[in-house]
Structure 1
Amino acid sequence: MTRTKAMAWAGGASYLLMVGLLVGGAPRAPGMVHAAGALLAVTLLAGVVRRMPLLALALALFGSTAVVVGAQGPVDERLAAYQGRFLSYLAVDLVLGFVVATCARRASIAAVAVSFTVQFLVIGGFAHGDDLTGDGVIAVLAMAASCMAGLLSRERREHAAALRTQEVAEAVTAERLRIARELHDMVAHSIGIIAIQAGVGSRVIQTQPAQAQEALRTIEATSRQTLSSLRRTLVALRQADGGETASAQSSLAPAPGLADVGRLAAATADAGVRVDVRRSGRRRPVPADIDLAAYRIVQEALTNVVRHAGTGYCRVSIDYGDEDLSVEVVDDGCGVTGNVPPHGFGIVGMRERAALVNGHLSAGPRPEGGFRVAARLPLPDPSHAAVEAR
């Protein structure tokens, strides 16, 4: 038997002992004394209430009824002895409120019915004259108040549990979307380059072995880079379980950013699309989430150029403004055609990335031909960022 359970049983036994002393030791005491004694004695049932609320209600109902029924004395003194003694049932109502708040609805309804029946049978049998109506009304009001408090507590607890469940579900959904965006942005660009280089290599392997060999080297390098990125993502996911070793954690590379756009442009050029990178404004460090979002938007836009534009040139513009960071990818290709799969997630993912940092993204064909992707990502106030850095 655990210590908590032993203390609960000891409290129940002490309650019964105190009720016995109250009834047998002071049978001629005023009713208010018995009522106050019953209310104080019910605190001994705190351990039982937490573990077995229905048993605690039964004990409180038995004890309060014993206090009412156990009065003795001459008939002419009995009215004075019973005056206020029905208030001992307030102890029952306190336990009843806890039962309504914590137990199943069917058990709560049964507890209320039993408590109501016992109280009114005792009050009807021992109240006299006009006191019967007054005592009955007080008992009904007290029981209704305790039940209402229990119902409000139950509803508040159920509402809090529903909110926690909703928050967990929203967090899981947000994390799934984040992982989906990362995998899509990370893999789609590399797979597009690999597919194009594989096609080039297969066409020239007989006539131009040197070019085919160069295509294979590009495929190998791109594949290794993609595998490394996938490994970093998987290690980051495993870290949530605390099961990653220190050596694996130390091998993690920082997340890519705008500083890596040059390398991204070189990889895109290997796929047959020359990228002209233009930077303007005062170059400075930007928050990591904005840096990553801008890089992923450029990466996905270049992937779409390689896969769908049908052109050999595009321009990437990066502008460091005073209040926002602007990135733009423009090509002079065929724009959106019927060959683009309707189930792609590229533009959707770019919009989500921009929205996550309170930015805005627009994507669509240009009037003069080609396609344009432009994003504006707001930057924090430098003075505010400096205060936070302290």
Structure 2
Amino acid sequence: MSATSATPLLRRVTPGRWAALAWLAGLLFTALLRMRLPGQEKADVLAGVVFLRWDGLTMLALAAALALRGSALLDRRPTAALGHLLAAAVLGSLPLGVTAIPLAQYLAVDVALYTIAANRPTKEAERAALLAIGVVLGHLAIRFLAGWTVGTTTALAVLSTAGLVWLLGRFARQNRLHAEETRARAAEQAVIAERLRIAREMHDTVAHSIGIVALQAGAARLVIDKRPDLAREALGEIETASRDTLAGLRRMLGALRTADDPGTPSDPPPDTPAVSALPAVSALPDMPGLASLDRLADTTGTAGVRVTVRRVGAARPLPPDIDLSAFRVLQESVTNVVRHSGADRCTVTVDLRDPETVALTVEDPGPVPGRSREVTGGGSGYGLVGMRERVGLLHGEFTAGPRPGGGFRVTAHLPVPPGAAPA
């Protein structure tokens, strides 16, 4: 199926254009009813006395001008647009010789009612409904007081249609608000889950470092009398591991406190592409880093996606939290390629040329014809949210989106604090 289907095409038509089309369609239908078409002995509706006279045509032209002006205002000032369309409906009915405003002249008003009910606050929508009903009832009251014939049935049909359209608009608004609230809640839960995951991984990192400290302290205690040089070396390792752990904790706690600040930007946009949660990857250590990329590429190759790993710049040790976060971002991105892109290959680039930044890029060329995408049922659908949160907690930059030539690209820049202790 083509990406440019009928639904996006209809969505590109603005409410103002729909109102203009409805008015023109109603005007055409009204004219056809008063003409003898092929196969008919006479027209379905008798034309009014002034319908084809200069004064009748003038009123129709003025009504059309009001309707088109109201249609132009509908996207920016819907209440004013509704007033123009109601005036056009009344004025356009006068030369027709009818006993009530016909439904054909009220179609553009129905479009405006739906637009207001679907997009505006409750009080404004209720005022619009009362105004539309009041115009129809007022038109009937004036004819009744003047002693003219009143088209009650036609008026009831017009009012019923307007009420149904208004209710449909309110229903659409409630559905949209509920969907936005659900997406925001799901994104918030995804962020919380990712922060908990980061906290667990940080706990494992600290536990690993404390284990190293304990081992080196025990070794130093055993050799401090006989081999002070080895004890000095062990104490240096203890100092390095302790500083490393403290630096990682300070970075993480500072970022978490910043994220808890109400003034910080909230979740990413609701139109973030859905991706799955991280799967368990076999043959990887419990605390992987960028050194595990080759094993990740081998594992991904068994899933049918060839991963090319490019390393730019000289390899250097990184702080454990940054090394782990960089790997997790790359792992999630590659997982998304396998599950959602339909591509048969992707490129992972790790740029270490800047001593203060780790630059990561994952890009795929797009779906291969005939290759189906995996349909996952257990994923959270917010993998990009988790990656964005992980990078944000380290004060980095994260972008994800389609490539100009096709396919998808994920980039992340993780800052390396000056003087940070390496892994």
For normalisation by structure 2, the TM-score amounts to 0.42
Larger Rg, first or second structure (1 or 2):
1
Select the structure with the greater relative contact order (CA < 8 A; seq sep ≥ 6): 2
For normalisation by structure 1, the TM-score amounts to 0.45
More helix by share: 1
